[in-house]
Amino acid sequence: MIDQQRLSKEFARLAAINSPPLHESSIASYLAERLQRLGAEIRFDSAATAAGGEVGNLVASFPGNGKQVEPLLFSVHMDTVEPGGQVEPVLRDGVFYSAGDTILGADDKAGIAELIEALEVVNEQDILHGPIEVVVTIAEEIGLVGAKHFDYSMIQARYGYALDTEGVDMMVLQAPGANHIQIEIEGLASHAGMVPERGVSAIQTASLAISQMRLGRIDHETTANIGVIEGGVARNIVPQKASIVGEARSHDPVKLQEQTEHMLSCFEAAADEMTREIDGKRVRPEIHAEIRPDFPSMSVDENAPVVVLARNAAESLGQDLKIRLGGGGSDANIFNGHGIEMIILATGMTGVHTHDESVAVADMVQVTELLVEIIRQA
Ligand SMILES: [Zn+2]
């Protein structure tokens, strides 16, 4: 049923198109033409302006061919992580790798190729289906930028599948939400050799705070990290400024809030501890905190229609679709935040974001079979 050769060729063609975030015009025009040939009406939203990119998110709408059911959504992203550059995909023993010092870009081009092949098969076999909507987002890899700026009024579907996670036979129903945490500490500068007692060190304040902080894996659904620390100007000056960038993630919004507050309270406690009396004046380091919700958590019920449909489709193919807990944010977090019930399906890719990234053709065939079956049973 699946044309393995056509699928392989499609993947190789996609992988060879350079597509760093916000520079997606080449891949976008290729996809627009390719999806149009499959029978879709093509539109782009205006996310390019908001995101500062070359093109907006692509929406491909396929009308139904006689089946009166709700529209079904598929989402993939057209950008790839750096180092992209000229990717040269090579096929070795049925597995695609990158030949040079680049990623392969199977994230997310394996998903795109599978979706295209599935639509080819649906056409060829005259499979009865309802309306199908495909959203191909831009700039997913630099913070879900396309999905965040997507014009949701352009689609009718209320449920669907993002093709964008590693492995096979996997679906992700839950993924954490995250807070981006930025702290600026303002102490007091002074000569470190002659009058250190006239200074209040911003770096020491930061160190005290971080040493008291719960970080890493907090519990089975919560993590936290301090990822960047900068500060000071010279060896012999008590540093006046330090800035710290970190994050907290949790599947549970309440825990996310608690962990974020805990991290902030460590900075406040450190500022108290660093408070000094200088020239009869009380000097306390100032803490400026900026908390930005990065993406909301997603949690789709195991008995939701979108999950049942995928499970039933897999069962009819003899595939064993397992549930895996997501660890990061993806476009699906944002779609769910907009009231679209979306789960993430594995695309066969492995080792993503590394030079060892690969995807086996046999795995892509298996995922494509699942997509065709989902469309058939929807
Ligand atoms: Zn991806």
**Same domain? 343 vs 226:** no
Question: How many Cα atoms occupy the beta-carbon half-sphere of 196 within 13 Å?
Answer: 7
What tens digit of pLDDT does each residue of 131-144 get? Answer: 999 999 999 999 99
**Same domain? 151 vs 192:** no
CATH code of the domain in which 143 resides: 3.40.630.10
Q: Which of 45, 108, 140, 186 is catalytic?
A: 140
Distance 317 CA to ligand 1 centre (A): 26
Distance 275 CA to ligand 1 centre (A): 46
Sign of CA dihedral 363, 365, 366, 370: positive
Check: CB of residue 326 under 8 Å from CB of residue 146: no
Q: What is the pLDDT of residue 101?
A: 82
Q: What is the DSSP string of 214-228?
A: --EEEETTEEEEEEE
**Same domain? 19 vs 155:** yes
Distance 79 CA to ligand 1 centre (A): 8
CATH code of the domain in which 286 resides: 3.30.70.360
Predicted structure pTM score: 0.86
Say whether 219 is catalytic. Answer: no
**Same domain? 171 vs 310:** yes
Distance 94 CA to ligand 1 centre (A): 22
**Same domain? 13 vs 158:** yes
Q: What is the DSSP pairing of strand 89-92 with strand 95-98? A: antiparallel
Phi then psi for residue 108, to 5 deg, are -125, 25
Helix (H) or strand (E) holding 321: none
**Same domain? 224 vs 316:** no
In sequence order, the 6+-apart residues with CB closer than 8 A to the CB of 281 are: none
Distance 237 CA to ligand 1 centre (A): 45
What tens digit of pLDDT does each residue of 241-289 get? Answer: 999 999 999 999 899 999 999 999 999 999 999 999 999 999 999 999 9
As a dihedral over the C-alpha atoms of residue 230, residue 233, residue 238, residue 240, rounded to 10 degrees, the angle is -60
Distance 326 CA to ligand 1 centre (A): 13
Question: How many CB atoms lie under 10 A from the CB of residue 276?
Answer: 15
Of 271, 295, 319, the position where a domain reaches its end is 295
Q: What's the count of helices (H) and strands (E) in the chain, helices before strands?
A: 10, 23
Distance 335 CA to ligand 1 centre (A): 15
CA distance 136 to 80: 12
CA 240 to chain centre: 36
**Same domain? 107 vs 181:** no
What single-letter DSSP state applies at residue 64? P
CA distance 120 to 364: 14
Angle at 372 between CA 164 and CA 109, to 5 degrees: 30
Of 247, 264, 295, the position where a domain reaches its end is 295
Q: What is the pLDDT of residue 50?
A: 95
Binned average pLDDT, 10 residues per bin, the chain of 378 residues: 97 96 98 98 97 98 96 98 86 93 93 98 98 98 96 98 96 94 98 97 98 97 96 98 97 94 98 97 97 92 97 97 89 96 97 90 98 98
Q: Which of 10, 79, 117, 341 is catalytic?
A: 79
CA distance 138 to 75: 11
Check: CB of residue 241 under 8 Å from CB of residue 229: no
**Same domain? 117 vs 72:** yes
Paired residues of 226 in beta bridges: 246
Q: What is the pLDDT of residue 186?
A: 98
Strand ranges of the sheet holding 216-219, from the earlier edge strand across to the other edge: 216-219, 222-231, 241-250, 177-186, 286-295
**Same domain? 324 vs 357:** yes
Question: How many Cα atoms occupy the beta-carbon half-sphere of 94 within 13 Å?
Answer: 8
**Same domain? 261 vs 330:** no
What single-letter DSSP state applies at residue 200? B
Distance 229 CA to ligand 1 centre (A): 28
Check: CB of residue 267 under 8 Å from CB of residue 155: no
Domain membership of residue 223 as a residue range? 177-295
Distance 341 CA to ligand 1 centre (A): 18
CA distance 216 to 246: 11
| 64 Rama class: left (phi>0) / alpha (psi -120 to 50) / beta | beta
In sequence order, the 6+-apart residues with CB closer than 8 A to the CB of 308 are: none
**Domains held by the chain: number:** 2
Check: CB of residue 342 under 8 Å from CB of residue 336: yes
**Same domain? 240 vs 350:** no
What tens digit of pLDDT does each residue of 11-24 get? Answer: 999 999 999 999 99
Say whether 166 is catalytic. Answer: no
Distance 158 CA to ligand 1 centre (A): 21
Binning the chain into helix, strand and coil, the percentages to the nearest 5 are 35, 30, 35
**Same domain? 142 vs 212:** no
Check: CB of residue 83 under 8 Å from CB of residue 101: yes
Distance 152 CA to ligand 1 centre (A): 20
Distance 104 CA to ligand 1 centre (A): 12
Only one residue has tokens 């870009």, namely 105
Q: Which amino acid is at 293?
A: P
